Structure 1
Amino acid sequence: MTSLSERTVYTGKLSLCLHVKLCVVDLCAIDQPLCQDENSLLSFEAICSIHKLMDDDADGTVDTTETDEFLREDLKYHDPKDKHRSFHRADLHISVADMWNAWKSSEVYNWTVQQVEDWLLVSVELPQYSEAFRKQKLDGRALPRLAVKNTTLTVLVLKILDRSHSQKLQLKALDIILFGPPPDHQNWWKDLVLALSVLMALTGCWFAFVQTRKSRDDLSRLMKDLEGLQRAEQSLLDLQDKLQRAQEEQRCVQVEKVKVEEELRNEISSAKQEAQRLRELREGTENERSRQKYAEEELEQVRMALKKAERELESRAHWAPPEALQKWLQLTHEIEVQYYNIKKQSAERQLLQAREGGEDNNNNTHSH
């Protein structure tokens, strides 16, 4: 046995099928590929019902006057100019075929089930029926069936028991079929997610740009620091080289200083020895001079005695020198010879000393 609701649904489907059969010929004449599609037939029947609702004089076309009255009286638009222009465009008389082709070329015709659910949530503002829409898989092609009075679909299938909700859904469906999707048909949270995504992307790009520039600046500073370190290292190596050369020069100077000090000590020692030798020579010369002086004095005495004797001898022409005088003459001769030898030895000694002094001076000059 079947329940009352099931029999009611079955009856509604039967009546709907009778209407579909009446429209099948018209749809096949207009759109041959879709005339065998049951959903397309149902949507075409809804389009026919909407066209009939707008065609007050039943002449088969909807003119601008009829559209204006429909917008003001049925859809309650107080300023329908934009809607009027969007519906008619350049065609002043809209037939069923024109309405059907306009509907097929609409963006809403190709909506998915999710897009229809988003439209129900945002534009219609009836989110409580989202589950029923999703369960029946209502996509964009099924929306004309919501734009007409279809109690079977709205009440029995979708479980929309509130009459105000049904009327609101029907008006929103009429608006979207005749005039296209609303400007804000997209879900607000999707826009928010998109905006946040764009903002995050821009933030990421900016962060990447800042990091790249910072990395470039850090790399530039690092390269400059490395160059500075290289220059400092080179300067340190140069200083080390200069220090090493200075140390080497200092060692050379010290060695030279030792040599010079040694030479000075040797020269001082030589000078001391020479001074000692000269002192001795001077002392010897002084002794020699003293002896020579004594000899000269003695010789002078002898000469004076000799002259005295010569004077006596001249006074005595034929006088023979006495024996004592002969002794003095002999002694005078010996003293003269001795004095001559002393002077000769002194002269030779002085000549030898002068020669040795000249040789020493030449040696000192060559050594310096």
Structure 2
Amino acid sequence: MLLPPRVASVVAAPVLVPLIALILALAACSSLPSPPLSARQPPAASALAGDWLDGGSSLRRAHLERLLDVASQDPEAIALLERAAKALHRSGPGDLFELLTVCERGEADEGGHTFLKFDIGVFSLDVDSLLTPGKLSPVAQAQLDAASKGDDLMRLERQDFADYIMVKRSRVPHFCLARGIDVASAYEALLHELVHAALRDPHFTTRKASESDDASFLEAFVQAPGDEVDAYLAGSRARIRLERGRGRVHRPLQPLLDDQGNLVAGRLIMARAILAPPPAGLGYAAGALRDARRKSLEAEAAERTTRQRVVDETLALRREQRRVLETNVGVHQHNVAAHRQNAAQAQAAGQAAAAQQSLGKAREAEKLLADTQRQLPA
């Protein structure tokens, strides 16, 4: 009798753990071209003491333009503004207005606040990617390509592991300046916040929270590139150049800088001054950063949990794939034998064409068998 071939099962589809999205959309603002910083004129000295919002509460482009005018005679400030505009995907410093708001009550640390945006995605590898080390399947590559795009994407870090790929992204943030401060203070705060917005990588850390005590973690935290030490240096140096002296610099920082704004103490000393309680310090350890280590510990735990979940899902997927592939090996072995038996029966009956057809099907089944055996995990 003729033996019917069987149908092989379909291998399980790849599993994708979606990105943990922490992304906020920003509305773009149309604007007239802003003049280059070098072509501006600084405001009169008397204007520096006026309210930067002109006594109101609504933000207008003219308010930022005036702060940019203040920077027009300061090459170091100009360089920072232009670098920040480029890093934040803006055509020039004037377009930073699209990212600027007025701080709501409780949002401002000192003169402003930066709202960093970042996320982490973990992708488990499908069977095709696992079979070809170093080369992703079209499905996996398409998923990673999608995660690597975006008009507001600032940084992308990819880490490859045996069973999964981790993608860390940071996106263009927005920032606010406090109401009720004068033009000079708003100018200092603008430069301070732009250091955070443009230079701070929220995924960067020199010391894990789980491997530190509170003090050592915070000291490393505020010394990270683009964090408080860099931000206070940029703002304080600009303020010293603007007012030709340290009189308006935060009092705990005054002994750490000379009259040109150069740091005369080490970065660690400045970090401790930022963290220490008033009046000796700025109070960040008990204030703005009081929950920083706890949040970092939670983030580390969440990352470990996500990694373990992906590994568990990948192992489960592999077990299911092995079961399906082993079943398919049996199906193809059956089909090879069935087609060869059918060919022999046809040959014995003098049906040469039918015999050749069955032999062709046997060869196809042998090829499928070999391909399936190659896919079996070691």
Shorter-chain TM band: under 0.3
- More strand as a share of residues: 2
- More helix as a share of residues: 1
Task: Point out which structure has higher relative CO (alpha carbons under 8 A, 6+ apart).
Answer: 2
Structure label with greater radius of gyration: 1
Using the size of structure 2 for normalisation, the TM-score is 0.23
